[in-house]
A and B are shown apart, each in its own frame.
Chain A
Amino acid sequence: MTDADRDASAETREREQAESLARIESGRIPLQAERRLREMATSGAPFSSTLSVDEFALCSKLGLQPLGQVLGASVHQVGWQNLPWSSSWGGGLICELDVIAGAWEEARRRAFDRLAEEASHLGADVVVGVRLHRGAHDWAAGAVDYVVNGTAARLSGSARPGRPLLSDLSGQEVWLLHQAGYAPVGLVAATAVFFVSPSYSTQWARYMTSAVNQELTDFTQGVYAARESALGSLTGQANANGADGIVGVRIEQATAFHSFSVGSSIGGRGDRQGLIITLQAFGTAIRQRERADLSPPRANMELGR
């Protein structure tokens, strides 16, 4: 390679990186990814999949043809959240932290959109076995990292245009549902972040009368509010998709104490303490396709171990 060649290729790389950045900013997938998928779609290259062998075997039974492994990712910064000014501080306060919840929602939306975009480049109808990873990196403090991957597949004999359908069900589960006459209609997910500032009575209960058994109603209420808000949003999404129900809902909950001062933003320091409840819920919405009865399962006793 001559120096001129090297300069040219470095220049191309720079240009491509800049273009990829611009695409990411507009919520799309980078150049590199699109190129890989286009090549796969056109050249008859081997498919790649996160399917286990069992899932792969069942896919051919369902008429699902795996096309390729697809990915969606987003690193999202969480903005500043100001706590509301309120005269009722002394009486305790439960409020939604919409900026933090919004960061999660946006990161997830972008990651899912990219997953769907990748799948549509392959001409897929569905993405099965979607797995979610959420993490934080120590080099990106205060940011959330959302990664989803799954296997894009085409249903035999269908030309279903539009956005590919996402589902976090495994191949086995899709097969079982199919046997019972159900079909997945989409992945539903929601995040709720709530803040609880304990009222005087709760503070009193925690610090002063620590020997007594009693419920800390503010905290219970906060957890309830977060859960109802997330689940309500899940149900709403499923309804909008015309689903009959949601299966496999997982709820992950994290709670942490933070100190704050009245009227400041979360993350600052202060003389008071409050509880932040982060609750994430996911599931797959399903619809009844036809009336079918699953043959009664055979009881089986495992002899191993």
Chain B
Amino acid sequence: MSEASYDPTSLEGVPEAGRERLEQNRQGLFTSDLSVNEFLLIKQAAFDPLGLVVGSSIYHIGVQVAGWKRSQEMTVLSEAMYHARQLAMTRMEEEADALGADGVVGVRLDIGRYEWGQNMAEFIAIGTAVKHRAGVLHRAPSGRPFTSDLSGQDFWTLLRTGHRPVGLVMGSCVYHVAHRGMLQSLGQMGRNIELPNFTQALYDARELAMERMQTEAQELESEGIVGVQLQEKSHGWGSHVIEFFAVGTAIVRSDEHGEIEPPTPVLDLGR
């Protein structure tokens, strides 16, 4: 899949108002969608929030026709879904870079659909740019700011374990599940049996999405991925075409001796 080119100084596509906002952030006023707890914990972890960063891409998703009776990946759609998200992520990273950030926490990836555009979707990446107070480098090996979908609390805990996030990793697979032929349906009618072609199609698609996510993590030279979510959605392509999307945060070990103190069981008296 094509790599979105990355230019740390680029603010391409950011409108005038956006540039002004980033300029304000650069002068010291931060904006963030952090809750109070998250804000305090990020401060505690020796990071400062710099500003809310956004990347957006409105993408036209091409058309692909699958054989009625074939289970197959819809490569055109897979690539579209992946590339559009990557564009949005890259733009968000570029905004973070413009603020001189080390990385972005609390990244959310959303897909918006509008009535005015069929086959069209807006891909949005949004998060809070943060910078280490003492200037310790926390970027990804590629030189880009790190990205992660971890909350402020998770970010703090992760740093305490001696790990740090390097990047949000994702894999997408859009898959067409074959229709059953008339004869096949008749043959299976009324029996208690597994439907192997359906199982295989869903299984294959999920595995492909996970494998792609793992490849991304490998490229980042990470140690592992935490918090993987496997989402399943049909974006209006009809019921037989489903997107499987795997997303998680890749982490590396930054401190050999990092270890959390033994937790104390706590009884919550609220409610």
Cβ-neighbour of A99 out of B192, B194, B195 (below 8 A): B192
Produce 1/0 per residue, B22-48, CB < 8 A to A. 000000000000001100000000000
Whether A73 contacts B265 by the Cβ 8 Å rule is no
Q: How far is the CA of A47 from the CA of B253 in the complex (A)?
A: 13
A276: chain B residues within 8 A (beta carbon): none
Cβ-neighbour of B200 out of A21, A54, A176, A295 (below 8 A): A21
B15: chain A residues within 8 A (beta carbon): none
Interface size on A, residues (CB 8 A): 65
A48: chain B residues within 8 A (beta carbon): 210, 213-214, 217, 224-225, 228, 248
Which of A77-85, A191-199, A238-246 is near enough to bind chain B? A77-85
Whether B194 contacts A56 by the Cβ 8 Å rule is no
Whether A79 contacts B190 by the Cβ 8 Å rule is yes
Is the C-beta of A217 less than 8 angstroms from some C-beta in chain B? no
Whether A33 contacts B214 by the Cβ 8 Å rule is no
Is the C-beta of B203 less than 8 angstroms from some C-beta in chain A? yes
Produce 1/0 per residue, B67-97, CB < 8 A to A. 0000100000000000000000000000000
Cβ-neighbour of A49 out of B199, B208, B226 (below 8 A): B226
Q: How far is the CA of A17 from the CA of B195 in the complex (A)?
A: 15
Is the C-beta of B13 less than 8 angstroms from some C-beta in chain A? no
Q: How far is the CA of A75 from the CA of B203 in the complex (A)?
A: 10
Whether B207 contacts A75 by the Cβ 8 Å rule is no
Is the C-beta of A52 less than 8 angstroms from some C-beta in chain B? yes
State the Cβ distance, A173 to closest chain B Cβ, in Å: 11
Whether A139 contacts B194 by the Cβ 8 Å rule is no
Measured CB to CB, the nearest residue on chain B to A45 is: B218
Whether A49 contacts B260 by the Cβ 8 Å rule is no
Whether B161 contacts A57 by the Cβ 8 Å rule is yes
Measured CB to CB, the nearest residue on chain A to B36 is: A304
Whether B206 contacts A80 by the Cβ 8 Å rule is no
Is the C-beta of B58 less than 8 angstroms from some C-beta in chain A? no
Cβ-neighbour of B214 out of A24, A46, A99 (below 8 A): A46
B198: chain A residues within 8 A (beta carbon): 75, 140, 143, 145
Interface residues of B in 170-188 (CB under 8 A from A): 177, 179, 188
Interface size on B, residues (CB 8 A): 60
State the Cβ distance, A24 to closest chain B Cβ, in Å: 4
Is the C-beta of A187 less than 8 angstroms from some C-beta in chain B? no
Q: How far is the CA of A297 from the CA of B158 in the complex (A)?
A: 24
Is the C-beta of A272 less than 8 angstroms from some C-beta in chain B? no
Q: How far is the CA of A66 from the CA of B225 in the complex (A)?
A: 10
Q: How far is the CA of A297 from the CA of B269 in the complex (A)?
A: 11
Whether A110 contacts B194 by the Cβ 8 Å rule is yes
Measured CB to CB, the nearest residue on chain A to B161 is: A57
Whether A24 contacts B223 by the Cβ 8 Å rule is no
Whether A69 contacts B228 by the Cβ 8 Å rule is yes
Cβ-neighbour of A298 out of B160, B218, B267 (below 8 A): B267
Q: How far is the CA of A65 from the CA of B228 in the complex (A)?
A: 16
Whether A297 contacts B223 by the Cβ 8 Å rule is no
Cβ-neighbour of B225 out of A46, A107, A145, A301 (below 8 A): A46
Whether A77 contacts B227 by the Cβ 8 Å rule is no
Q: Contacts A36-B214, A56-B161, A79-B192 hold; do A66 and B224 have CB atoms under 8 A apart?
A: yes
Measured CB to CB, the nearest residue on chain B to A180 is: B265
Q: Contacts A46-B224, A76-B194, A77-B195 hold; do A17 and B203 have CB atoms under 8 A apart?
A: no
Whether A53 contacts B227 by the Cβ 8 Å rule is yes
Whether B192 contacts A295 by the Cβ 8 Å rule is no
Produce 1/0 per residue, A122-152, CB < 8 A to B. 0000000000000001111001010101000
16 A-B pairs in the complex with CB atoms less than 8 angstroms apart: A24-B199, A32-B211, A48-B224, A50-B227, A50-B228, A52-B226, A56-B161, A58-B263, A60-B161, A75-B199, A79-B193, A99-B192, A139-B239, A179-B265, A298-B266, A300-B269
Which residues of B are at the interface with A, using a C-beta cutoff of 8 A?
A: 36-37, 71, 150, 154-155, 157-158, 160-161, 177, 179, 188, 190-200, 202-204, 206-208, 210-211, 213-214, 217-218, 222-230, 239-240, 248, 250, 259-260, 262-270
Which residues of A are at the interface with B, using a C-beta cutoff of 8 A?
A: 17, 20-21, 24-25, 27, 29-30, 32-33, 36, 40, 45-54, 56-58, 60-61, 66, 69, 71, 73-80, 99, 102-103, 106-107, 110, 114, 137-140, 143, 145, 147, 149, 175-176, 179, 294-295, 297-302, 304
